[in-house]
Amino acid sequence: MATFLTTPRMNAALRARVERAVSHRERAKHHAAKVGLKGPFASGQPRRLARLLPAVALLLVVGLGSATYVHGQGIIEDDRASLLHTIEERRAALPAGHETFLAEVSRWIGEAAAETPPPEYVDPALREPGALDALLGRPAVYVRAPAVELRDAAKIDDAVAGSIKDAFLFCLMTPPASSSERDLLAKVRGVYFGGAVVDDETANVRRLAEAWIGLPVLAPAFEASVRAAEEPLALKKLRKDLQSAPTEEAAKAAAAQLLLVVADEPSAAGARAARVSIVDLASQKPLLRARIRFGAAGQSALAALHREAIEGCGLAVSVRGGVED
């Protein structure tokens, strides 16, 4: 290395020592020669490293991507296993025969709401004193909706989900003193049909909606969706569906021995009608099919305020009367 500290006239050894003092490269060559090496280790290394950098960077990117993918797959598999375990736990609480419950119920609802319904029928055993009350004390599921919605595959889900424990069910289970406007009004006035009072009075009856919504997330098709899901978002949605489904209530509903269906017909010229069906799910046979016609409920202004509830209660009284007479 040229430096102003040396001149050609200087002693060669002195010049070499000065150059080593001011140049790391010359120092490296000197020390390498002392130990018998042709050159220093650093000789040419920066150039070789520069050529290797792209390959090293690529390896790092690929390695990082692989590690991220493996980690992500591990999370997905853990989430899947957890979800499948939850399904299995909840499925264990279901009663025997739950696999066919919805199919059987759907078939009877379709019959009750058909455009051409089957003939009216009362099982002779129900005409015995106290037989109807004994029957209604058994575990049951209940649904009421317009017949056109119950027989429409595109509308039945919403129809079932919107069906509550209403005045019909309330008065069928605990009837008023008579069918007079005063007694009907006294029975339904001030009653909140989505509340605890009605639920207590009809404790053995579950809304069909509980099984309709709760059982599908425990079915083999839902489990297959969990096993096939490859994305975290898909598993997250499936978990949300499972968590929001009333599976505990569905287990109680699926244990029902009776199905109660009220299929309302369209109003015509001020008169209304409803088809009422009671099906024995254990024996898979109908116990009651009745078509009840009824007009405007009540004449007083107060009755008009509770028209829908009075009509539902009156319908229940008519059903009981048709069986017990």
Q: Tell me which of 39 and 184 has the higher pLDDT.
A: 184
Average predicted confidence (pLDDT) for the chain: 85
Does residue 303 contact residue 185 with C-beta atoms inside 8 Å? yes
Give start and end residues of each alpha helix (H) in 40-97: 45-91
Helix H or strand E segment including 22:
helix 12-22
Domain ranges of the chain: 97-207+254-324
Helix H or strand E segment including 169:
helix 167-173
- Using 50, 70 and 90 to split pLDDT, how confident is the model at 71? very low
- Using 50, 70 and 90 to split pLDDT, how confident is the model at 304? confident
Q: What is the pLDDT of residues 274-301, one digit of tens each?
A: 999 999 999 999 999 999 987 665 568 7
Helix H or strand E segment including 285:
strand 285-294
Residues 6+ apart with CB under 8 A from 290: 120, 122, 275, 276, 277, 319, 322
**Is 264 in a helix, a strand, or coil?**
strand
Among 324, 282, 271, 314, which residue's Cα sits nearest to residue 172?
314
Number of H helices, E strands in the chain: 16, 6
Q: What is the pLDDT of residues 218-265, one digit of tens each?
A: 999 999 999 999 999 999 999 999 999 999 999 999 999 999 999 999
Tokens, residue 176: 């008023």
- Strands 205-207 and 140-146 turn out to be parallel
Predicted confidence at residue 291, as pLDDT, reads 95
- In the predicted structure, residue 325 carries a pLDDT above the cut 60: yes
Q: Tell me which of 16 and 312 has the higher pLDDT.
A: 312
- In the predicted structure, residue 68 carries a pLDDT above the cut 60: no
